[in-house]
Amino acid sequence: MIQLQGVSKHFGPVVALNPTDLIFEERKTTVLIGPSGCGKSTILRLIIGLLEPSTGRLRFDGTVISTETILQLRRRMGYVIQEGGLFPHLTARQNILLLPTHLGRPREEMQSRLNELAELTRLPQDSLSRYPVELSGGQRQRVSLIRALMLKPEVLLLDEPLAALDPMVRANLQTELRAVFHYLNQTVVLVTHSMAEAAYLGDKIVLLRQGNIVQAGTFADLRDHPADGFVSEFINAQRRLVVS
């Protein structure tokens, strides 16, 4: 679905991502994980076109991602960020319907899609008429998720969607996310720094460090056949954290 060929990114002398080849498979959830500054968010931002690669090229469903194609491609992707990225001057409903209205999509169809997604994410109907400041953190992320899914995107991109939430809300939403992924059965790219989240949600895990892919595979692969000491250290560090 999405393909990176020799893609690298540097900001002046600072390297964010070394030349990388990577394929995100259709209808699979791929998790990008690693310590801060490893390049995981950079990959996501390259896909949605907020960054342009320094070398190499990215393809989305065969189309090269470029400034000419990005506008159309963005409308085939959904993007959710840590704080939700909801516009404060619009209600939850207005946020969700912003793009569909702008593109002139039929109102009836969008309304039923909205109801379907609200039910799926367990978002209370009355919160739709509230402004972002009046919503809880968990509700904000649900609204953001609904906004990203409105136009039935082929790919859903999530950049640490749960990081800013408190643990209880986080656990609930994690469960719901998995249900949503199963229900929609679509291509998902998730960025996180939590191995537990990666193991729970991901079909495939890509572990990065300092702009390089260290290992890619299922959680079992990483756990049972770590490519090097860093992989087992990364898995164990998080496990210790859970135990202690």
Contacting residues toward other proteins, per CB under 8 A: 48-50, 71-72, 74-75, 77, 79, 81-83, 85-91, 98-99, 102, 131-134, 147
Which CB atom, from 167 or from 229, has the smaller least distance to other proteins? Answer: 167
To the nearest whole angstrom, how small is the minimum distance from the Cβ of residue 81 to other proteins?
6
Q: How far is CA 25 from the centre of its chain?
A: 14
**Spatial distance between the Cα atoms of 150 and 18, rounded to a whole number of angstroms:** 34
Which CB atom, from 44 or from 201, has the smaller least distance to other proteins? Answer: 44
Length of the chain: 244
To the nearest whole angstrom, how small is the minimum distance from the Cβ of residue 199 to other proteins?
27
To the nearest whole angstrom, how small is the minimum distance from the Cβ of residue 238 to other proteins?
26
Which CB atom, from 145 or from 222, has the smaller least distance to other proteins? Answer: 145
Look up residue 157 and give its amino acid.
Answer: L
Instruction: From residue 41, give the alpha-carbon distance in Å to each of 33, 87, 118, 129.
Output: 9, 22, 27, 32
To the nearest whole angstrom, how small is the minimum distance from the Cβ of residue 17 to other proteins?
18
Which CB atom, from 72 or from 175, has the smaller least distance to other proteins? Answer: 72
Bridge partners for 24 per DSSP: 2
Look up residue 108 and give its amino acid.
Answer: E
Q: Which of 3, 39, 43, 42 is nearest to 22 (CA)?
A: 3
